[in-house]
Amino acid sequence: MKVISLFCGAGGMDLGFLKAGHTIIWANDNDKDSVETYKKNICKKFNLPDNHVVLKDIEKVDTKEIPDGDIVIGGFPCQGFSVANPYRHVKDSRNKLYLELLRVIKEKKPKYFVAENVPGILSIGKGEVIKMIMRDFKEAGYKAQYKVLNAANFGVPQKRMRVIILGTREDVEPRIYHPKPTHSQNPKTTVDGTKLKRWLTVRYAISDLPDPGEGVDIPNHHGTKHKVKVNGFIGNRATKWDEPSPTIVGRGGGTGGPVIIPHPNLHRRMTVRETARLQSFPDDFVFEGSISSQYRQIGNAVPWPLAYNIARVIPKK
């Protein structure tokens, strides 16, 4: 199906939709580095013209500029909502970007939509914000439901909880529902009689990577010099080899760059490539911009295996 991708970032979610057999017909983000990354990877590898991805503030995009599509996808920026942000508030101006997603859905009337956000969205305003969002989608003519999915349950070597809202236009059949897990912490778990695979671990994801340095030629295998200090706070907990990693985030709680988790050897923090691996990006997916921008693009992304499993619940035609 034809996909319109809002807040596309580096293209993690788009990669999952493309791998599931859908086509991206138009994508948008207002971050220059993300759009460059998108062009060099998504457009190039899937033979999409570079002008498929538009660098522009969504608030300045006239809906007429967007071609007609079957699915609208959008991980609208979560920072205003995130529990990691102590200043989150219903009135945070960034929260209105979800209204842009709503505008595009209302005007383009796709058959389906997929919206992604952080779990913190469920508790803002004691749950009033999510109720308002679901009411908005109903009034726009969609049967929608949301669920918190853990990326680790879909073959991502990372515990990453995300709220996924799925919408089906009222006149469209079949209605779509959330995918069932493919992986589990407990390998004895079964779904529909099939045994799930065991969660992937940090060891599985990064143990073959050498330490960065001279003579090591792996794209984006460089990182922050920020010292490791294990003190139990977010970003400063020891990373375990034999578990999925903690959530890779796009930014910190305050000023400065994103919080980068320590490498399990505890001598340094993860490189950009290691965080990309923990987000399931393949090694030939190369990130543009400064090191801090590369970390941010990766932390913001929907890991493609999660997006792929979601995309697969949507009919291809």
Ligand X SMILES: C[S@@+](CC[C@H](N)C(=O)[O-])C[C@H]1O[C@@H](n2cnc3c(N)ncnc32)[C@H](O)[C@@H]1O
Q: What amino acid positions are annotated as catalytic residues?
A: 78
Q: Which residues pair with 145 in a beta bridge?
A: 166
Distance CA 145, CA 122 (A): 13
Nearer CB in complex with ligand X: 196/270? 270
| CA 55 to mean position of chain CA atoms | 19
CB of 100 to ligand X, least distance (A): 7
Report the interface residues with ligand X, using CB under 6 A.
7-13, 28-31, 34, 57-59, 75, 77-78, 97, 300-302
Nearer CB in complex with ligand X: 12/244? 12
Sign of the Cα torsion 101, 19, 311, 155 reads negative
Nearer CB in complex with ligand X: 239/293? 293
Q: Which residue is nearest to ligand X (CB)?
A: 9
CB of 33 to ligand X, least distance (A): 9
Beta strands in the chain (DSSP E): 2-6, 23-29, 53-55, 71-74, 112-117, 142-150, 161-169, 183-184, 190-191, 194-195, 197-198
Terminal alpha carbon distance of the chain:
6
CB of 58 to ligand X, least distance (A): 4
Q: Which residues pair with 183 in a beta bridge?
A: 197
CB of 9 to ligand X, least distance (A): 3
* Residue 170 Cα distances to 1, 136, 216, angstroms: 18, 14, 54
Q: Is 38 helix (H, G, I), strand (E, B) or coil?
A: helix
33: which 2 tokens?
């580095």
Nearer CB in complex with ligand X: 200/298? 298
CB of 299 to ligand X, least distance (A): 9
